[in-house]
Structure 1
Amino acid sequence: MGNTLRSSFADAVTAFVSLFWAGALAGVSFLATPVKFQATSLDLPVALEVGKVTFAAFTRCELGLAALLAISVLLSQAPKPVKACAVVAVGLVAMQALWLLPVLDGRIDALIAGRPLAPSPHHMLYAIAEGVKLLLLCAVALVSLARLGLRSRAAAVSA
């Protein structure tokens, strides 16, 4: 596979993975999760347990998507800002999986057990990380799609 073809394929994969991940993230974190708490027949302990299970499963998916994104960005010979955005997005997933989710899971377990808890910044940090990750993934996708378009236009002009 020629260098241009390989870079085009890697950019296409990068754009696809970024957009797929961004869509899943928006659906889980910014749509399904808040809506769940508006269901009046769903008690808080059940909603929290559903959220805990949902985010555990979604984090596993995100780790897989993070690996795919890292590989495709490296193979695409993306510009340094794109690589930086991808690295930060991957780092945020790792931080969430290794630190924030375990802390939040412990708080959920305590709430379900009926133990009162003092307010903490962890939930807000998680939400901020989700928002930043969404913006980073959109930026990576847009640049990757632009690179594909420029390469396609250059190929059409030279043909």
Structure 2
Amino acid sequence: MAPASAPGPWPRLTVIGLVCLWAGLVIGVSFLATPVKFGAEGLDRPVALDIGRITFAALNIAEWGLAALLALVVVLGARTQPRLIAMLAIIVILLLQTSWLLPALDERTAMVIAGKPLEPSIHHMAYGILEIAKVVALIAWAGLEARLVARGMR
């Protein structure tokens, strides 16, 4: 039996659940729903972009909520160096998306809706690369936690 001070397996299992939920949410919105939306014949580009702007704003709020829950679990559970590094890496990605990329992409969306010409930019590509990095980090984190659960470690 574990000592009373040991947190038990709940932090690791909770982290696995939260990071899998987060990865699934990003995969569903960024890599499934968004490309499908732009393939819809009856949806013109300005409307699709406006829907995307609203969708990604909602996704961003959900991601910050999941980040807060994960931070709480990491703080209340066993604070290990790998957990803290994973949490920090994912939060840095989310900060870049929230503070730099989403505002720039929202501005570009407004320009398209207004019929203004756009100069080429790296914003969509940068956002996509960060989405891929975030999903890979989340899945790797879940895999590490699952491997440690299988070994019986906290």
The whole-number CA distance in structure 2 between the counterparts of 1:54 and 1:111 is: 17
Deviation at 1:79?
A: 4.0
Identity of aligned residues (%): 41
Q: Which letter does structure 1 place at the counterpart of 2:34? A: T
In structure 1, what is the equivalent of residue 4 of structure 2?
2
The TM-score with structure 1 as length reference comes to 0.88
Gaps of 5+ in 1: 153-159
CA distance in 2, matches of 1:39, 1:112: 18
Are 2:17 and 1:27 equivalent residues in the alignment? no
**How far apart are residue 80 of structure 1 and its match?**
2.2
Q: 1:7 to 1:133 in 2, by over 3 A?
A: farther
1:65 matched to 2:66? The reply is yes
Indicate conservation of the 8 Å contact 1:96/1:126, yes or no: yes
AA partner of residue 99 (structure 1): W
Deviant stretches of 4+, over 2 Å: 1-4, 73-83
Q: Distance in 2 between matches of 1:25 and 1:43?
A: 24
Shift of 1:78: 5.2
Q: Secondary structure at the match of 2:84?
A: helix
Give unmatched runs, 5+ long, in structure 2.
Answer: none
Query: Residue 151 in 1 paired to residue 152 in 2?
Result: yes
Answer yes or no: is 1:116 the counterpart of 2:144: no
Task: Measure, in 2, the Cα distance between the counterparts of 1:114 and 1:120.
Answer: 17
SS in 2 for 1:37: helix
Distance 1:144 1:115 in 2: 48
SS at match of 1:151: coil
Which protein has the bigger helix share? 1
Q: Which residue of 2 aligns with 1:157?
A: none
> In the alignment, which residue of structure 1 is the partner of 2:133?
132
Task: Answer yes or no: is the 8 Å Cα contact 1:8–1:76 preserved in 2.
Answer: no
Question: Deviations along 1:18-56, whole A, 9 cap, x unmatched?
Answer: 000000110000000011111111100000000000000
